[in-house]
Structure 1
Amino acid sequence: MSAEVHGGRAKCLQRLIRMGMPVPRTMALSFDVVHRIAQGHLPDMEALLAPFGENPLVSVRPSSQDPDWGGPGAILNIGMNDTRLAEMIPVIGEWAATAVYLRFVQSYAIHVARLDPEEFYLPDVPDAVSLRAMLDTYELETDEPFPQDPATQLGEVLRSMARAWDGTTARLLRQAKGAPVDAGLGLVVQKMALGVGHGECGSGVIQYVDSATGQPQITGRYLGQSQGREALGDTDSALYLTKDPRGPSLEERCPEPFAQLKEYGELCRRKLREEMQVEFTIDDGTLHVLDAVRVQRSSRASVAIAVALAEDSIIPREEAVLRVEPSALSELLHRQIDPRATRDVIVSGIPASPGAATGRIVLTANEAQASAARGEPCVLVRRETTPEDIRGMHAAQAVLTMRGGVTSHAAVIGRGLGVPCIVGASDLVIDRKRGGIIGRDGRRFAVGDLITVDGTTGQVLAGSPPMLEAALDGAFQTLLAWADDFRDIGVRANADTPADAHTAQNFAAEGIGLCRTEHMFFDDERLGVMREMIFAESSDDRRAVLDRLLPMQRADFQALFAIMAGKNVCVRLFDPPLHEFLPADKAGLRDLAEQMALPLAAVTERVNALREYNPMLGMRGVRLGIAIPEIYDMQARAIFEALIAVQSQGITIDVEIMIPLVSAMREVELMRARIDGVANAVRAKKRAVFEYHLGVMVETPRGALRAQDIAEHAEFLSFGTNDLTQMTYGLSRDDAGRFMSAYVQQGVYAEDPFHTLDIEGVGELVSLGAERGRAGRPDVVLAICGEHGGSRSAIAFCREHKFDYVSCSPFRVPVARLTAAQLALQERMNA
């Protein structure tokens, strides 16, 4: 018997029987048999019932290949009829026998005959009068008496369950859980252990670990004179399992069956190599095991259980690593809304940075900073964020934007900061005049009102639902340490600040694969200096202003290098267009004119002159470095002086300088000559010895196509898949959210290319660039540093093409480490 033929429940029951557990006689029907039943071809019912003896009572339960795929509910007490009732009354008593019959009639009427549940309720006193009334109701509703033949009853139950599995709703539900379209259903017919009657009778459910934490703990309930899983629904009358000061327990009432259950739990763990939940019945003091299913578990528990099984040598470490979904780690890194909480949804958007946070609504970065200064958590709500909003994003507990996609500015920065973020909430309206937001249903929330952002699901909720805290416990660290033993590709972090670097270090990143230096310039103190530099008229004037920024940049790099001691740090030189540092509104222009001591008209003219029709395709990156070389000169000097400073403290660091937006070999030649000149000047002035590596960020199609020439002058090529995707598609990542869902739904693209790396298009450019890069320099280091870097498809792609590492947001590093290990193990298993 196999799960692929008879389903997981049937296979598990077979193993429980072989392990010597007291499982009632069981027959399993295969997927093919059940499929034929759904088409109207019933097997021989008399032959099917024969192994269960004369006048049997049986139950039928579903047995899908994967228990998570669900199935129709179990039906108990099949075979109950007037004759069987009369036989049972002298044995177990009239109350118990009548209760069994009533439960079966109710279940059959609702789930087989599909009658109105309102008409079939269980009476408080199960007697002959209430039974007669229910049987009469059945006959009235169906125009025929309740079936008395056990074979007929069983046949109708089997047909009903088989057809329910083939129904449209059931098919869509299980496909949503990952089941294939043609997933089959098996059925398990099992002799009833009644759980009602004389002596100690009842039913219950027991599990041996806590579903939330995964720690060893016996939980469950037992209810006397009950069947199935009734104990879980009647918590007032049910007994605790272990001794408990709150009330009586099964351990005290039935010590021998309880001891057996504990023994069976450990047996399941050892033999089934899993933590199981066991459904049991006690019949006149005798224990029967009816079923065992895998314990439902939280993300935290899934990690704890996998690690505990491996540490107890029940499963190998490789299997423990493969058992945990990488997405489970992402949930553990952040606070989450308690799954039991009520959700009052205001609006939904694109989940861009996982986790959940509650705060008061603010509409500007300045308001966010003021709120943080008062010690009040806030949620920054913007139409879309810009680099000027970074300080507010740092101050906020969460970020919500009306526009943008998964690689928009808000999404990228949110993931880097570990701040919950939702983007593309297009149904949201920001009412600036009245100070608030308006939800999809017209509800209005004022600035200062509490809302909750769930960056895991993309829902914005009213109020402050209860939260579950992040859980980075020992099992989490152990699992990732094992993953590192198996993975064969490096994992670095994109980190721009000392806080980012600390996070990357805590998550065991192998270094920094992308440090975006422009994020260091938006601090209040530096922003003014940057604006002075932009307004400077000559090279000497610019250099004089940048000399004031030099010590700030040097301190930034020195802090990063000290945190990442012994590792690689890849610093990307200044990338964005200069207009991003200038105000766009009239009030901002007036403030700038006052700061520059210039007429407002002159400032406005200068700002307008710097604006570009499409700044993302304009003067940014290396183009700025060539047109205004003083910026890169200052940054290079700051890097080298910081390197010398940490070396004097005994810290070794491998510094890499990355030139952004390169599309031609000559750009690299010019930059290398310039940066080498700065390096030599610093070496001479400081009388110091240091080395560095120069590389290129490949984010234009031409850069990928000309990688052979470029690599002759670059020691590494790091593919920036965010911009490369934009330029390959001719599509703005900030605007894509408006129509991308329609494209995906209609099959234009399989996935949003800003969410999942487009292997066919962008991936071909990357692989071509890697191949040509190696042709130009065989030892060139290859990496991906765009936001795709932490995704499974991108890591698989990079492994296939023998890249050296991927780099992703700090909070995605654990996910990337586990994913890389799983891909390596799966490749080993399939070899």
Structure 2
Amino acid sequence: MSEKRVYTFGNGQAEGRADMRNLLGGKGANLAEMNLIGVPVPPGFTITTDVCNEYFEKGKDDVVALLKVDVEKSIHHIEKLMNSTFGDPENPLLVSVRSGARASMPGMMDTILNLGLNDEVVKGLAKKTGNERFAYDSYRRFVQMYGDVVLGMKPVNKDDIDPFEAIIQKVKSLRGIVLDNEMNVEELKQLVVLFKNAIKEQTGSVFPENPVDQLWGAICAVFDSWMNERAILYRKMEGIPQEWGTAVSVMAMVFGNMGDTSATGVCFSRDAATGENRFNGEYLINAQGEDVVAGIRTPQQITKEGSLRWAKQQGISEEIRAAKFPSMEEAMPELYQQLNALQDKLEKHYHDMQDMEFTVQEGKLWFLQTRNGKRTGTAMVKIAMDLLHEGLIDEKTAIQRCEPNKLDELLHPVFDKEALKEAKVLTRGLPASPGAACGQIVFFADDASKWHEDGHQVVMVRIETSPEDLAGMSAAEGILTARGGMTSHAAVVARGMGKCCVSGAGAINIDYKARTVEIDGTVLHEGDYLSLNGSTGEVYAGQVKTKEAEVSGDFAELMALCDKYTRMVVRTNADTPHDAEVAKRFGAVGIGLCRTEHMFFDKDKIKPMREMILADTKEGRETALAKLLPLQKKDFVGILKCMDGQPVNIRLLDPPLHEFVPHDIKGQKVMAEEMGKSLAEIQQRVAALQEVNPMLGLRGCRLGITYPEITTMQTKAILGAAIELKRQGYHPMPEIMVPLVGTYKELKQQQAVIRAAAKELFAEEGMEVDFKLGTMIEIPRAALTADEIAKYADYFSFGTNDLTQMTFGYSRDDVARFLPTYLDEKVIEVDPFQVLDQTGVGQLVEMGVKKGRSTKPTLKCGICGEHGGEPSSVKFCHRVGLDYVSCSPFRVPIARLAAAQAAVEK
């Protein structure tokens, strides 16, 4: 921790600089830097982020005592540079108090302007400026802000109007005026009195007249705002640690509300939505900063080009635009030229798009803030590539400048922003798979398929999904589930399909019999429209307009840059040729996980699969498997052909067998008829397949060891498909993966079965194909004994979904019951099924790699859990030496960017 708690800036000098943002916050660091490079900034000082942590550890009184001397010295520093005195009625200095975390959190914390005014000082300010209206306008704004931020003046009910705004409306209505700047001096004086009375009546607090008391109240309120509800929520969304804290910057006030030669505004050096190199922003004459963003008055555009575009969108004639809404470029041409020159200077200095706040006080331009601007995914990529072409950044910086997760915005359909303003939010769940979906509600997979075939767009609503819902999920625009987490079946499969999915929406109550879903009192029926936002987890009533995401040529250029620098390649998790093709288009260089059990639910395969499960003898199973073999082979031909010349890692069958049989009487009767069995026989076999804990039961390699004929069939289907393609001139690269191995003997046994089946097939076909044989490391014991297992494996694929489940002892399908509490109480920092637990699970991965390669130095290692598409997890995989990561098709670009960033950072 820094012993120095307060850093001053002003008059071209500063104790801080841009690279001290961790200590001074983004705002404080940039205010110091702007001073150092000659940008006009009002003088002030910044209290460090370390003090914020002290504030919550030691309490308000102790921190005020610690800061008292430094803050007094710093106020004198401002007084000297501004030639005015804090609290002096004759020559008053006023200040603003602003928050500033190291990561930009726009609008999340509090700001107070015009601090230092009281009933005496306001008279001195009016006399000093010769502008009584300006003085009392500033005073009423200060009382309003201070009452809200420091004294807690809020609406009594959440639906009520802001109490201060209610008073303003009442005063304006008496004279029939609409805008704040139409109020006269007497009305502004009246507001001050009414505001103070309302504060005392509602909060019991008296508005403080002493400027020093005001200052300490504001500083502490800004620290308190670090822990307000919206700031906490924003930090959760953005992954900003609580311990970072916020700095507090105190600056001399400059005033945009001193008349028609004064103004305030916000501007961007480039378009934050599209990334175009176009200076843009909004300003207001005779106003203060909050007016621009509060919507009290219609802001005007800074550039003439922007003003013309805005007028066209609004249907305003050029005559009216020029008269009522002139741009700053037209109304204040000299100041506009200064502003334009300085925004260009700041962008070139920071080598990034800047978001700036400024004030013009009686013809003099002041900058109040600059920061790297927030931007859309499209803008992010375009700006990075444009800055590269302009020579402002190099290739490695362009890669690091992009946030991997924001690439999602480029790949999935999105809701129209204007349409969202009118949308009614019914509830929220987990944003399991990004994108936007709109369709009619259906509850069953068969109905989803049928409605889709009939030309309907549908959203499938389920308590939870199972592999049997696959066809319905494929037909649906989106999936909504009441249960399940981010790695539930619905979530994993939806991401693989590129389908929008909201999972774990606990507020929804589904009645399958009535075919209704009730959401907080609203009852929706089958066929009603519903819209899902898979990027936020929001569920909307009715139809919300969507649009296809726009992927620019800049995206392809960024991906090419990633390939240039990356060491660790990216494969995909894909079970169909369609998924493989999508992933290949996004740059996947192979398949890291093909789950064969997903293939068996196809209507052509489910019957022989059930025959195999129900067979009492090995001969009966082999008869059923003989029917399955050509069907499986056909699937593998499609996938291997799509990924020609690239590795395809195919996992042998790994589901609990009970998932393949129906559990309802109707389904069991149909199955009995199809199988030529009695209902009693079917029910007896279904009951026999039930397990107390199926995830730890007869699945994975245990299934292949118990029924080796299944492994034999799958081996012949995989290698038979490869032989067929090889004869056609293709270059198939199959990899056969044995799942759920916990001891080397399990792999050794399955290896013998696979090798024997391959030898038999090659003899029958008169042709051989090369193939790799590996295993999935998803049981802690496998990682601990990886040196023994590696003797029988060509490669390891870490299945971190199950490895996380078994290491933590959390059921990934039931975590929604306790995980929110764990996250709120800081028992764990993040959902371990979304972000790899590098300390525990990651240690097993690292150990598995080291131990495996100690036995077999050539051992290839990859990851195929959902963590393979999460940026911080991908970077961890790079650090521990994995050769590849594998993820859902739509996460491939995210993983490619994260892998390249890992290589560049190293």
- Relative distance call for 1:129 and 1:385 in structure 2 (3 A) is closer
Q: 2:217 matched to 1:160?
A: yes
Change (3 A) 1:545 1:729: same
Alpha-carbon separation, structure 2, partners of 1:279 and 1:801: 44
Instruction: Report the Cα distance in structure 2 between the residues aligned to 1:538 and 1:132, rounded to whole angstroms.
Output: 95
- How far off is 1:524 after superposition? 1.0
Matched, 1:185 2:244: no
Shift of the 112–38 alpha-carbon distance from structure 1 to 2, 3 Å rule, reads farther
Q: Residue 395 of structure 1 aligns with which residue?
A: 475
Cα distance in 2 for partners of 1:201, 1:219 equals: 19
Work out whether residues 96 and 251 of structure 2, in 8 Å CA contact, stay in contact via their aligned partners in 1. Answer: yes
**Aligned equivalent of 1:215:** 276
Q: Aligned partners of 1:685 and 1:304: how far apart in 2?
A: 56
What is the distance in 2 between the residues matched to 1:794 and 1:179? 17
Q: Within 2, Cα distance between the matches of 1:622 and 1:377?
A: 40
Partner secondary structure for residue 712 of structure 1: helix
Q: Which of 102, 123, 132 is 1:66 aligned to?
A: 102
Matches within 5 A, 1:74-85: 74-76=112-114, 81-85=122-126
Name whichever of 581-590 and 155-164 sits farther off: 155-164
Q: Is the 8 A contact 1:209 1:217 kept in 2?
A: yes
**Per the alignment, in what secondary structure is the counterpart of residue 375 of structure 2?**
coil
Matched-pair contact (CA < 8 Å) for 1:98–1:127: no
**Distance in 1 between residues matched to 2:363 and 2:67, nearest whole Å:** 43
Which whole-Å CA distance do the structure 1 matches of 2:188 and 2:80 have between them?
28
The TM-score normalised by the length of structure 2 is 0.81
Residue 554 (structure 1) aligns with: 633
Determine the C-alpha separation between the residues in 2 that align with 1:310 and 1:7: 27
Task: Work out the CA distance in 1 between the residues paired with 2:810 and 2:773.
Answer: 30
Partner of 1:415: 495
Equivalent residue in structure 1 for 2:266, among 205, 212, 216: 205
Structure 1's 99 and 401: CA in aligned 2 closer, same or farther, altered over 3 A?
same
Return the match for 1:43 from 62, 66, 72. Answer: 72
1:146 equivalent in structure 2: none
Alignment of 1:82-481 (within 5 A): 82-89=123-130, 97-112=131-146, 114=151, 117=164, 118-119=166-167, 125-134=182-191, 155=212, 157-167=214-224, 170=227, 174=231, 176=233, 177=235, 178=240, 180-181=242-243, 183-190=245-252, 192=254, 194=256, 196-197=258-259, 201-228=262-289, 230-232=291-293, 233=295, 236=298, 238=300, 241-243=303-305, 244-245=307-308, 246=311, 247-248=321-322, 249-250=326-327, 251-282=329-360, 287-337=365-415, 341=421, 344-439=424-519, 441-467=520-546, 469-481=548-560
1-side partners of 2:291 and 2:749: how far apart?
A: 77
Shift of 1:373: 0.8
SS at match of 1:222: strand
CA 1:185–1:775: 2 relative to 1, 3 Å: closer
**Corresponding residue for residue 9 of structure 1:** 27
The answer to which of 521-530 and 120-129 deviates more is 120-129
Question: Against the structure 1 CA distance between its residues 492 and 201, is the aligned structure 2 distance closer, same or farther, given a 3 Å change threshold?
Answer: same
Q: Is the 2:573–2:886 contact (alpha carbons within 8 Å) kept by the matching residues of 1?
A: yes
Report the equivalent of 2:585: 506
Alignment of structure 1 residues 610-625 onto 2, 5 Å:
610-625=689-704
Instruction: Give how far 1:569 is off.
Output: 0.7
Q: Match of 2:834, SS?
A: coil
Match of 2:269, SS state, is strand
| Structure 1 residues 490-505: aligned runs within 5 Å | 490-505=569-584
Contact 2:100/2:247, CA 8 A, preserved across alignment: yes
Amino acid at match of 2:272: S
| Structure 1 residues 711 and 419, CA gap change in structure 2 (3 angstroms) | same
Q: CA offset at residue 566 of structure 1?
A: 2.1
> Do the aligned partners of residues 506 and 294 (structure 1) sit closer, same or farther apart at CA in structure 2, a change above 3 Å counting?
same
1:673 aligned partner: 752
Cα distance in structure 2, aligned partners of 1:417 and 1:125: 57
Give the SS at the match of 1:341. helix
The separation in 1 between residues aligned to 2:139 and 2:606, in whole angstroms, is 77
Cα pair distance change 1:205/1:569, threshold 3 Å: same
Report the more deviating stretch, 624-633 or 747-756.
747-756
Q: Contact 2:268 / 2:280 at 8 angstroms: preserved in 1?
A: yes
Alignment partners' CA distance in 1, 2:809 and 2:220: 49
Per-residue CA deviation, residues 573-594 of structure 1 (Å, 9 max, x unaligned), is 2222333221111111111122
8 Å CA contact 1:420–1:454 kept in 2: the answer is yes
Residues 527-553 of structure 1, C-alpha deviation per residue, up to 9 Å, x if partnerless?
123223334455444444433333322
- Consecutive unaligned residues of structure 1, counting only runs of 5 or more, are 90-96, 144-150
SS of equivalent to 1:216: coil
Percent identity for Structure 1 against Structure 2: 36
SS at match of 2:272: coil
Aligned-partner Cα distance in 2 for 1:15–1:725: 45
The answer as to whether partners of 1:57 and 1:192 remain within 8 angstroms in 2 is: no
> Which whole-Å CA distance do the structure 1 matches of 2:903 and 2:465 have between them?
38
C-alpha displacement at 1:792, in angstroms?
4.2
Equivalent in the alignment of 2:779: 700
Matches within 5 A, 1:706-785: 706-746=785-825, 749-785=828-864
Change in 2 beyond 3 A, CA 1:127/1:777: closer
Shift of residue 595, structure 1, vs aligned partner: 1.4
Q: How far has the Cα of 1:515 moved from its partner?
A: 0.6
Q: Structure 2: which 5+ runs fail to align?
A: 1-15, 53-62, 85-90, 154-162, 173-179, 201-207, 312-320
Give 1:691 shift.
Answer: 0.8
The aligned amino acid for 2:245 is A
1:221-255, Cα deviation, whole Å (9 max, x unpaired): 33333343534535547356314443223233444
| 1:764–1:216 CA distance, 2 compared to 1 (3 A) | closer
SS at match of 1:49: helix
In 2, Cα distance between equivalents of 1:433 and 1:191: 65
Find the counterpart in structure 2 of residue 92 from structure 1.
none
Distance in 1 of aligned mates of 2:253 and 2:814? 61
Instruction: Indicate the SS of the match to 2:464.
Output: coil
- Deviation, 1:188, is 4.1
Query: Do the aligned partners of residues 260 and 766 (structure 1) sit closer, same or farther apart at CA in structure 2, a change above 3 Å counting?
Result: closer
Take 1:615 and 1:127, find their aligned partners in 2: how far apart are those partners?
A: 76
1:223–1:38 distance in 2 versus 1, CA, 3 Å: farther
* Amino acid in structure 2 at the alignment position of 1:333: L
Do the aligned partners of residues 822 and 255 (structure 1) sit closer, same or farther apart at CA in structure 2, a change above 3 Å counting? same
**How far apart are residue 746 of structure 1 and its match?**
4.7
Number of matched pairs:
810
CA distance, structure 2, for counterparts of residue 765 and residue 6 of structure 1: 38
> C-alpha distance in 2, partners of 1:739/1:179?
21
State the match for 2:734 in structure 1: 655
Asked whether the 8 Å contact 1:360–1:377 carries over to 2, the reply is yes
Q: In structure 2, how many angstroms separate the alpha carbons of the residues matched to 1:677 and 1:823?
A: 42
Counterparts in 2 of 1:433 and 1:556: CA distance versus 1, 3 Å: closer
- TM, length-normalised to structure 1: 0.88
Q: How much does 1:301 deviate? A: 2.3
Amino acid at match of 2:651: R
